[in-house]
Structure 1
Amino acid sequence: MSIRVMVVDDHPLWREAVERDLSDAGLDVVATAADGREAMARFPAARPDVVLLDLQIPEPDGVAVTAAIAEQSPETRVLILSASGEQTDVLAAVKAGATGYLVKSASREDLLDAVRRVAAGDPVFTPGLAGLVLGEFQRDTEQTPLTERETEVLKMVAKGLSYRQIADRLVVSHRTVQNHVQNTLRKLQMHNRVELTRYAIEHGLDEE
């Protein structure tokens, strides 16, 4: 079955170019949107497998849209395609529920590969993102700590090893490596919720 993709970007030429690349590669572009409000309005009927989403879109922004999609449709994968590679943007997107993050300088081949991998449930975890996540957990190890194996896998990803190379090195299956990375993503998202809850309690927001 063809992968159903929704493309959300406020730049018409870029949106059309991405849509064309996806269609030419045999992927099914089921909807496009120019801003967060349009994306959320079209999402239910489109039922995409993957939402290819820019972060810097008119409100609600990409992080808010990612969180809403993760809440409404956990089986839908969100792949961020952003001009920004800033740490704060990357972490905010992943914590909101994104399964992958690419910068717009990525090649057409990298983009198509990322969409297919994300659709299959394989997180697109770049070396830089793995390093960021490790740092995030090391900063506050009391909250949802990583297991030794998860830390080991992330360190290898941070060094640029592919999931296949990691699987060979650890003598485990590719699926096992993928599961470790997915568990890490889930923990990071939970890590964010714990921090938000703590903030709410400390500031009396839970009593409003």
Structure 2
Amino acid sequence: MVVDDQPLWRDAVERDLAQAGYSVVAVAANGREALARFPAARPDVVVLDLQIPAPDGVEVTGEIVRQDPSVRVLVLSASGEQGDVLAAVTAGATGYLVKSASREELLAAVRRVAQGDPVFTPGLAGLVLGEFQRRSETPLDPAEPALTDRETEVLRMVAKGMSYRQIAERLVLSHRTVQNHVQNTLRKLQMHNRVELTRYAIERGLDAD
């Protein structure tokens, strides 16, 4: 599903996705249309501009992720401002690209986001994780659910930015098994996406060698 209030841009993104073999199940020009069409369209990935007529992209992201936690939201915005990026990720976006990204970068981002991998325009990932680290001043809870050794091992690799496929190859596991480990870890920690999981791992130093 493609959501953007600029017809030329929306049509171009839709065309690029269709040419790459993706099925565009819906388009919308504003937040109201996006929320109205989402339940029937049930897209796997939503490519969304933040600066759209109300409700804006952050509100739309939060609402569609609430309706369907499995949906992946890739923000495609003209803004690379820290506040916009953090608001989108906090609302549940899996990825964030600025509109200066090339067609190839967009298609690669859609492919990775569909797999559940967080994708950011270079420089933004560190900003997001750094900010979440600074925000977290909560002491560790000794009653936190225990992770298995394998789940911890997978979590370390997630924290280092490795994709599911790379983790599967490193541990000689199937892609599906790695996904299951991540889903189990998310459920145990009561988290919703890999960005939150990565933040958790970095806060605990699991990204260090």
State the partner residue of 1:55: 50
**Whole-angstrom distance in 2 between the partners of 1:153 and 1:127:** 18
* CA-to-aligned-CA distance 1:3-25 (integer Å, 9 cap, x gap): xxx00000001111111111111
Task: State the Cα distance separating 1:93 from its structure 2 match.
Answer: 0.3
The more displaced of 124-133 and 47-56 is 124-133
Displacement of 1:141: 3.2
Tell me by how many angstroms 1:151 deviates.
Answer: 8.2
Deviations 1:134-181 (A, max 9, x none): 322332332387xx9868865x55xxxx649x869xx65796699599
Counterpart position of 1:203 = none
Q: For the residues of structure 2 that align with 1:144 and 1:101, how far apart are their CA atoms?
A: 30
Partner amino acid, structure 2, of 1:185:
V
Q: 2:195 aligns with which of 173, 185, 208?
A: 185
Q: Which residue number in structure 2 is paired with residue 81 of structure 1?
A: 76
Q: Show the counterpart of 1:92.
A: 87
The answer to whether the 8 Å contact 2:129/2:199 transfers is no
Judged with a 3 Å threshold, the aligned counterparts in structure 2 of structure 1 residues 25 and 153 are, in CA distance, closer, same or farther, namely closer
Secondary structure of the 2:116 match is coil
SS in 2 for 1:134: helix
Q: Is the 8 A contact 1:97 1:189 kept in 2?
A: no
The whole-number CA distance in structure 1 between the counterparts of 2:14 and 2:36 is 19
Number of corresponding residues: 177
Equivalent AA in structure 2 for residue 139 of structure 1: R
Is 1:36 matched with 2:53? no
1:39/1:136 CA distance change after superposition, 3 Å: same
**TM (normalized to structure 2)?**
0.70
**Quick one: distance in 2 between partners of 1:109 and 1:125?**
14
Contact 2:76-2:98 within 8 A present in 1 as well = yes
Q: Tell me, in whole angstroms, the C-alpha distance in 2 between the residues paired with 1:25 and 1:91.
A: 29
Q: Distance in 2 between matches of 1:43 and 1:140?
A: 32
Q: What amino acid does structure 1 have at the position aligned with 2:137?
A: E
Corresponding residue SS for 1:29 = coil
Percent identity at matched positions? 64
**Which of 106, 109, 112 is residue 101 of structure 2 equivalent to?**
106
Partner SS, residue 115 of structure 1: helix
Distance 2:91 2:83 in 1: 12
Query: What runs of 5+ residues in structure 1 fail to find an aligned partner?
Result: 1-5, 191-208
Which aligned runs of 4 or more in structure 1 are off by greater than 4 angstroms? 148-154, 171-184, 187-190
CA RMSD between the two structures: 3.4
Q: Tell me the distance in 2 between the aligned counterparts of 1:17 and 1:136.
A: 33
Per the TM alignment, residue 124 of structure 1 is displaced from its structure 2 partner at its CA by 1.2
